[in-house]
Chain A
């Protein structure tokens, strides 16, 4: 008797390629920056921590929700990729924060900022070029 595949049989899950995993971490950092901005804003307005001030702090909760999405994307990326390659890609956060602070908050640009984000991008590119099995 030949058995037909049962519908409950676990099928092979979709596997993300290395590039796709890097892309997921890339998205993760965009949500992470939104989260950090909201949380930093809420930290400034929160001098004394009371239950009421925490519960009514919408920026804090929105920021945490953004962190949730960001973490979900990271989990998806980590499922198929190497932790040691993917985790440092989160440093793109520094690049977004710097670009945001210059474009949106009109902070000054200087040679250190440009050099810093260039070096970080070089490092991320190096990690993004392939996993250690390739």
Chain B
């Protein structure tokens, strides 16, 4: 079974939107308090969930055709986008620990993928 380019692009796009979903979830979660209104009137959380759903739809369309063993590791690119957005929007430092952890994780996913062929 071959993996069409359209599937690859759909999954890439899904990882991109998903990483922005995480940014909005984080922004919304920071405004959560004991009052129910902070959950129900939280547009940031709603936007984050909407982006997660959109990401899910693109992922779902992407994996209908093609090999999961190729498409699945591509989702891990979302971790790199998220590292950049965390620095940009939340001023979280990009520490050696984070880069090393992320490199191990992405390396592990690629190695794991070799075993699925």
Contacts and interface: CB of A to CB of B under 8 A. Distances in A.
A61 interface: no
A52 B46 CA distance: 27
Given A115-B111, A132-B98, A91 B49 contact: no
Nearest to A46: B64
Interface string B27-51: 0111011110000000001001100
Interface residues of B, number: 53
A117 B108 contact: yes
A111 interface: yes
A116 B34 contact: no
Nearest to A35: B56
B63 A40 contact: yes
B71 to A, nearest CB: 11
A88 B45 CA distance: 20
Interface residues on A, range: 35 or more
A67 B68 CA distance: 19
A115 to B, nearest CB: 5
Q: Which of B28, B76, B101 has the most CB of A within 10 A?
A: B101
Q: Which of A76, A98, A112 has the most CB of B within 10 A?
A: A112
Given A10-B35, A116-B113, A129-B97, 12 more contacts: A10-B33, A10-B34, A43-B60, A83-B23, A87-B19, A87-B79, A115-B108, A121-B108, A126-B100, A126-B104, A127-B97, A132-B95
Interface of B: 19, 22-23, 25-26, 28-30, 32-35, 45, 48-49, 52, 56, 60, 63-64, 68, 72, 76, 78-79, 82-83, 85-87, 90, 92-95, 97-98, 100-105, 107-116
29 contacts: A40-B63, A75-B28, A75-B29, A75-B32, A75-B48, A78-B29, A79-B30, A79-B32, A82-B90, A82-B92, A83-B23, A83-B26, A83-B86, A87-B79, A88-B102, A94-B72, A110-B115, A112-B114, A116-B114, A117-B108, A118-B108, A120-B104, A121-B108, A122-B108, A123-B101, A124-B101, A126-B101, A127-B98, A129-B97
